[in-house]
Structure 1
Amino acid sequence: MKNLVKNKSLLNNFLAIFVLAVLMLWAKTYITQVTQFKLGVEGPLQQFLLLINPLGSALLFLSVAFLFKGKRKLTVLIFIYTLMTILLFANAVYYRFFSDFITLPTISQTQNFGDLGGSVLTLLKPYDVLFFVDIFVLIYIRFSKKINFQSGKIGFKMPAAVVAAAIILSIVNLQLAEADRPDLLSRGFDRSYIVKYLGMYNYSIYDSVKTFEASSERASADSSDIAEIINYTNSFSSQPNEKYFGKAKDMNVIYLHLESMQSFLIDYELDGEQVTPFLNSLVKNENTMYFDNFYHQTAQGKTSDAEFMLENSLFGLPQGSAFITKGQNTFEAAPSILKDYGYTSAVFHGNNGSFWNRNMIYNQFGYDEFFDESSYDTADSKNMAEYGLMDKPFFEQSQSLLETLPQPFYTKFITVAHHFPYKIDQDLVSIGKATTGDTSVDNYFQTARYADEAIEQFFTYLKESGLYENTMIVMYGDHYGISDNHNKAMEQIIGEEVTPVVNADLQRVPLFIHVPGMEGGVNHTYGGQIDLLPTVLHLLGVETKNNIHFGTDLLSEEHSEIVPFRNGNFVSPTIYSLDGKYYDPKTGEMLDESKMETAEKLKAMVEEKLHYSDKVVNGDLLRFHSKDGSIKE
């Protein structure tokens, strides 16, 4: 502060303060982009772009202060500076868990900030105070009596020159980015590319534009759009496998939602002890098929994205959660389809019904019942996790509710105990922690074991109640539990370096399909959550040729083993496309040049599929589609 006072003659001048603010914001943003985000920066050009992209934004946004007079100039400057700092800090914290950036739709999901909520403190770092130190410097300049601030007459030329410099710098930035990454803005499935090339603040502008475009699609959509979608989905729909079609005909359906469960846990031993002994036993069950190359495909909607895909075979949105932003849409979801086959339907979840807007969108899916926390005894705090009722009392209390449903029923049970930050009363644990030094990773195994035990108890109930022999049980992992921000600790867990290919394989989640009388075993087919709806319907003997699905039956001989991710990446048995590069999954090395043409074609197919799915959701196109496959005019 003494140095500031010594240079008070400079600080009396608004232009000098403006330059100081621009330099501080530029430096802070660049340091944050380098240290807090994994942007995959390579080569001198990308390094240069990462360096300059905050400068144009800082100049442009802070120049708004020139529009005001007197000390209001400085007040507005500090206000805008603070807002930009908050945006930067919020993205840094959000990224620590989600490995992603905040979008406008996620800001609108305020009721869901419980997804960080009580866990947000675990994401904060001691050095986070450095995000705000410079704001106090500016506030000191504004209110210090030792600095006699005089705004003076700046005139028109200087602000105009600043704005012109900002625009020119931004245009040069964009041109260089487009030269290195063609069609950057038109193929913006991956937000990390936008941040890397254009910077945190320009990304926010881009996100706002894309959000507006998506919200305006519904108004301009008509029945001709659904005709295009029908032609597209018909081009890759899969015929049922006769061996499995109708294997579960007229059976009940129970989905068990395995919160944050990743496939590496299956058969994994911690200090010589199996972490998930019951799930491990199901892999060997004669009537259970286990898919060991099944991937989650969620984005910012996380759990809600997983539900959205399994119910509708539509991809989640690139920004935010369709559960919240598209809660009034028309859908062709599993509960609605199965109504015509005599099924009643219900969801069981020991949390607030408004969380993820479930109490609204479940109606749109066609569910008959939603048993939320109001249906459970949640008075005992010992039975409560951060996001609802612990799994064991949840399953116990769900039994009487399940028995009220007429059969056949289609149901989904959403567990919460195995949820970040994986806290659990040590009186409830039956396995030790890992010792990597990373709290999230170390705690992960105790809640996984608890969830495994809860599922075993529920299976026991199903057998004792007589439901087991007439019920198809589908268990799926919803999304990763340990993000790639913890890969250093994960290397200790899995005993190998987490390369791009290994990191992609860590996105595998368990999928178990148990059908009494069906031949089980381990199925190595590549697939994802988008494929669950046609798979389950075909097992129930329900034809899907008139439905609009973007997945294909995992058991069909025509199943596509190209697994798209929401950011445009994909995996397959022969090619992995990850962050703009192609890999051989068997060797982990970059793909041979001779296969690049095939890889590019697959990449284009993935982007096309994501585009058409988004068109259906954003345009609410299913309102133009009838159950018999015809088009409503």
Structure 2
Amino acid sequence: MKNLLKNLKNLLITNTYLLRKLKNLLLDNLDILLFLIIIPIKLIKFDRLIYPEYTHYKLIIKPIMSSTVCLLSIAVIFKSKIRTRLLYIFDILISILIIADTVYFSYFKDIISIGVLKNGVMLGGVKSSVTSLITLSDFLYFVDVLILIPILFIYKKHKRNELKLAFRASLFLILLIPAGYINGKAIYNMSVSQPNLLQTMYNKVYIDKFLGTLDFHVLDLYNVTQNKISNSKKLSSKTENNIRNALNKNSSNAPSVMTGRYKGKNLIIIQVEALQQFVINSKVENQEITPNLNRWINKSLYFNNYFYQVSSGNTSDAEFLSNNSFYPASSGAAYYLYAGNTYSSLAKEMNDNNYYTAVLHGYKEGFWNRNVMYKAQKFKDFFGEKSFNLNETVGLGLSDKSFLRQSLTKLKSFSEPYYSFVITLSSHYPYDDTTGYGDFNVGSYDGTLLGDYLKGIHYTDAQLGEFLDNLEKSGIMDNSVVVLYGDHYAIPKDKINDLYDFQNIKNPTDLDWYQLQKVPMFIHFPKDDNKGVNNEYSGQIDLYPTIANMFGLPQNYMLGTDLFSTKNRMVIFRNGSFTDGNVFYVSWTNTYYDIKTGNTIAESPKLKKEKDNALVQLQYSDNTLNHNLLKKFTSKKKK
């Protein structure tokens, strides 16, 4: 009995000792445990946000945990107090990064990148857009940061056992090597399943979705660094010749009935802010949303399968595509990244054919780096905010009503022939200024973003109708070709369900989403010639070659094709998606859709070739812009 009691006493002492040791061990490493719990939860929550329809925790948990452990391995090298501070700083930085990604994604349907951050000054001008996107729930990512403040203050008083440097270094390797292997394997698997994706970063959402936010941003940093290094090196002569041949092949369109037919006529291009095709010939509460555009479409040649192809540069990307026939930058905005390049732009070729060229836009001259980029594209004049009487404000700035009236006065003063690029503003996101909108009834959509947009675009439609009517009354239309198109989407992806409801789309697919990304484009000819509908699938990159053909301009160094002489063209999007008019490939799910049936189809050798070609075209565009190849090509041509 004595032995039994003695054994029980010893056991109790041992257990108490073990419990004390375990307690001390947990307290000594509480910062590590919290980091390993909190950070993955935040990263998974964000990953779920960007693609709620897709359940892939088994795929995402490994790279998220391994990237978290990689960060942890850096911290464990240091002594305990420094380690705790470092992990807390990591938590703060990751929280800020996720909030920035969340806000950016809700507007651009994309993940923020270093290239985008370079545009921060320009994007900062849209204060109302940014503030309207930030919600209280976004700051939930910061709740733990605040809660941890008193806990860390108390934790600071806990005396921890310090590990020797050799042990900490060993622990660093023990954590880093397996975590790095798991991360590397996930990245390698993606490089096999989606070749060129990690180099081009053309589909940032897809990368984030399968690798997690931390891995994406590390890859982004790596690619920016690599691009800096690679862009400082010359391309091989073979690569340059391949690009030159591809540009010449794309530009050598066969003559058509439109070739040179409008040489010497004025050209007026109107880029309309956030004008999407779904409002054309549509009604709400039995009222036409765009009665004036509907009327002018019937007097023009209307392209009803015309897609915007912008990336994170949005409005500026639309301008870049339409005036240069190159794709936007893979990250950031071409208007910022390539303002020092040489261009064979529409304005430059018009100048060479004795045209006066000008841009008219009632907003800040420096926004999107326009004051620099228009000079690079050889526009002779830029009439920005300072050139207009700011007598009425709607939305971000000068109202479309006042802007278009003042622009008409300026057009009348231009020496002919001229090319005028007119950019509207009032229908800019978030459509929350209803000044001058009138009592347009949007029914059940009142108070929603879609309802506000319908009111805003109805207002802009009225101003465009007045402007076009006055062009006709003044006689300018008799000697001018007028092109009008929308620049980019109106409804962000996080508000798309209202649009699906408006379109009566049940059980929407990615194909449905893409089919809603069309923007109206019409060309009005003198005397209402050539009116009708063109059903060919096309995009903004095809506008410049089309105009060049009509006006007898050189068609050199373009990636788009003339809408009048080429059929069955590829419409390629910056994220690698594409359509040939029969099949739609959605890059972020690696899925092909039959457009007629809406069903998914298997990849065939032909479709695989088209997918590869889309990536090649994007790479040609990137290489041309990154290395300023047009400067070399055009200088050699002059010699």
The verdict on a shared fold, with TM-score over 0.5 as the criterion, is yes
Query: In 2 relative to 1, CA 16–414 (structure 1 residues): closer, same or farther, beyond 3 Å?
Result: same
Identify the match of residue 202 of structure 2 among 166, 182, 189: 189
1:536 matched to 2:544? The reply is no
Distance in 2 (CA, whole Å) between partners of 1:582 and 1:165 is 36
Indicate the SS of the match to 2:637: coil
Amino acid of the residue matched to residue 57 of structure 1?
A: S
Structure 1 residues 301-310 or 208-217, which shifts more?
Answer: 208-217
CA distance in 2, matches of 1:388, 1:542: 35
Equivalent position amino acid for 2:543 in 1:
L
Structure 1 segment 221-240 matched on structure 2, within 5 A:
221=234, 224=237, 225-240=239-254
* Aligned residue number for residue 169 of structure 1: 182
Aligned counterparts of 1:156 and 1:211: Cα–Cα separation in 2: 30
Q: In the alignment, which residue of structure 2 is the partner of 1:440?
A: 449
Shift of residue 514, structure 1, vs aligned partner: 0.8
* Partner residue in 2 for 1:363: 375
**Cα drift, residue 15 of structure 1:** 2.7
CA displacement at 1:553 relative to structure 2 = 0.2
> Which secondary structure state, in structure 2, belongs to the residue aligned with residue 474 of structure 1?
strand
2:619 aligned residue (611, 616, 622): 611
Contact 2:358/2:383 (<8 A) preserved? yes
Identify the residue that residue 224 of structure 2 maps to in structure 1. Answer: 211
Equivalent residue for 1:19?
33
Give the secondary structure class of the aligned counterpart of 2:158.
coil
Measure the CA separation in 2 of the matches of 1:345 and 1:451: 25
Do the aligned partners of residues 231 and 121 (structure 1) sit closer, same or farther apart at CA in structure 2, a change above 3 Å counting?
A: same
Task: Tell me how far apart the structure 1 counterparts of residues 244 and 187 of structure 2 sit (CA, whole Å).
Answer: 37
* Structure number with bigger Rg: 2
Q: CA deviation at 1:469?
A: 1.0
C-alpha change, 1:240 and 1:344, in structure 2 (3 Å) is farther
Higher mean displacement: 417-426 or 217-226: 217-226
Q: Would you say how many aligned residue pairs link Structure 1 and Structure 2?
A: 612
**Structure 1 residue identity aligned to 2:493:** D
The range that moved more, 151-160 or 276-285, is 151-160
- Is the 1:238–1:559 contact (alpha carbons within 8 Å) kept by the matching residues of 2? no
Q: 8 Å contact 1:223–1:624 — kept in the other structure?
A: no
Q: Report whether the alignment pairs 1:311 with 2:323.
A: yes
Pick aligned residue for 1:554 from 554, 558, 563:
563
Change (3 A) 1:438 1:150: farther
Q: 1:560 to 1:388 in 2, by over 3 A?
A: farther
Q: Which residue of 2 aligns with 1:3?
A: none
2:114 is matched with 104
Letter of the 1:510 partner, please give it. P
Where does residue 326 of structure 1 map in the other structure? Answer: 338
The correspondence for 1:280, drawn from 294, 311, 332, is 294
Whether the aligned pair in 2 keeps the contact of 1:227 and 1:631 (CA below 8 Å) is no
Structure 1 Cα separation of the partners of residues 263 and 156 of structure 2: 82
CA distance in 2, matches of 1:193, 1:40: 13
Write the deviation string for residues 514-551 of structure 1: whole angstroms up to 9, x where unpaired: 1114311111011100000010111112231xx10000
- Of 162-171 and 345-354, deviating more is 162-171
Alignment-derived partner of residue 531 in structure 2: 520
Q: Distance in 2 between matches of 1:567 and 1:93?
A: 20
Report matched runs for 1:128-527 at 5 Å.
128-144=138-154, 147-148=157-158, 150=160, 152-153=162-163, 155-178=168-191, 181=194, 184-186=197-199, 188-221=201-234, 224=237, 225-285=239-299, 288-378=300-390, 380=391, 383-436=392-445, 439-497=448-506, 498-517=508-527, 518-527=529-538
Query: 1:116 Cα shift?
Result: 4.9
CA contact (8 A) 2:322 2:540 kept: yes
Deviation at 1:463, TM superposition (A): 2.4
CA spacing shift, 1:198–1:222, aligned 2, 3 Å: closer
Deviation at 1:38, TM superposition (A): 1.7
1:625 aligned counterpart, secondary structure: helix
Q: CA deviation at 1:67?
A: 4.1
> For the residues of structure 2 that align with 1:604 and 1:161, how far apart are their CA atoms?
40
- Alignment check: 8 A CA contact 1:11 1:141 kept: no
CA gap 1:607/1:40 in 2 versus in 1, 3 angstroms: farther
| Match of residue 128, structure 2, among 111, 118, 129 | 118
In structure 1, C-alpha distance between the alignment counterparts of 2:451 and 2:292, rounded to whole Å: 21
Question: What is the Cα deviation at residue 182 of structure 1?
Answer: 5.6
Match of 2:11 in 1: none
Report sequence identity in percent.
29
The corresponding residue for 2:582 is 574
Amino acid at match of 2:149: I
Q: CA deviation at 1:606?
A: 1.0
- Describe the superposition over 1:239-286 as per-residue Cα deviations: whole angstroms up to 9, x where unpaired: 25431112322111111111111111110000110000011011211x
Q: Secondary structure at the match of 2:538?
A: strand
Question: Alpha-carbon deviations, 1:597-626, whole Å to 9, x = none?
Answer: 221111111111111111101111111022
* 2:75 aligns with one of 62, 65, 74: 65
Partner AA of 2:520 in structure 1:
P
Instruction: Kindly indicate whether the alpha-carbon contact (under 8 Å) linking 1:11 and 1:149 is maintained by their aligned counterparts in 2.
Output: no
* Cα deviation 1:277-318 (Å, max 9, x = unaligned): 011011211xx1100000001111111111111111000011
Q: Distance in 2 between matches of 1:477 and 1:298?
A: 11
Q: C-alpha displacement at 1:210, in angstroms?
A: 2.2
Sort the Cα spacing of 1:213 and 1:438 in 2 relative to 1 into closer, same or farther, 3 A: farther
Shift of 1:449: 0.5
Whether the 8 Å CA contact 1:253–1:409 is kept in 2: the answer is: yes
Is the partner of 1:267 in helix, strand or coil? coil
Local SS of the residue matching 1:435: helix
CA distance in structure 1 between the aligned counterparts of 2:437 and 2:246, rounded to whole angstroms: 51
Q: Deviation per CA, 1:172-214, whole angstroms, max 9, x where unpaired?
A: 4334545655665246421122112211111111112222333
Deviation, structure 1 residue 133: 1.0
**TM-score in terms of structure 1 length:** 0.91
Which is worse superposed, 528-537 or 159-168? 159-168
Summarize the Cα distance change of 1:476–1:240 in structure 2 as closer, same or farther, 3 Å threshold. Answer: farther
Aligned partner of 1:165: which letter? P
SS in 1 for 2:562: coil
**Structure 2 regions of 5+ residues with no counterpart?**
1-19
Q: Any gaps of 5 or more consecutive residues in structure 1?
A: 1-5
Single out whichever of 515-524 and 224-233 deviates more from structure 2: 224-233
What is the deviation of 1:560? 4.5
Deviation at 1:31, TM superposition (A): 1.8
SS at match of 2:401: helix
* Aligned-partner Cα distance in 1 for 2:80–2:57: 39
1:194/1:442 CA distance change after superposition, 3 Å? same
Partner of 2:637: 630
Whether contact under 8 Å (1:13, 1:152) holds in the other structure is no
Secondary structure at 2:519's aligned position in 1?
A: coil
In structure 1, what is the Cα distance between the partners aligned to 2:542 and 2:21? 65
Q: CA deviation at 1:149?
A: 5.2
Native 8 Å contact 1:263 1:509 kept in 2: yes
Residue 14 of structure 2 is matched in structure 1 by none
Contact 2:67 2:214 survives alignment (8 Å)? yes
Structure 1, residues 304-336: CA drift from partner, whole Å, max 9, x if none?
A: 111111111000011010100111111111111
Give 1:126 shift.
2.9
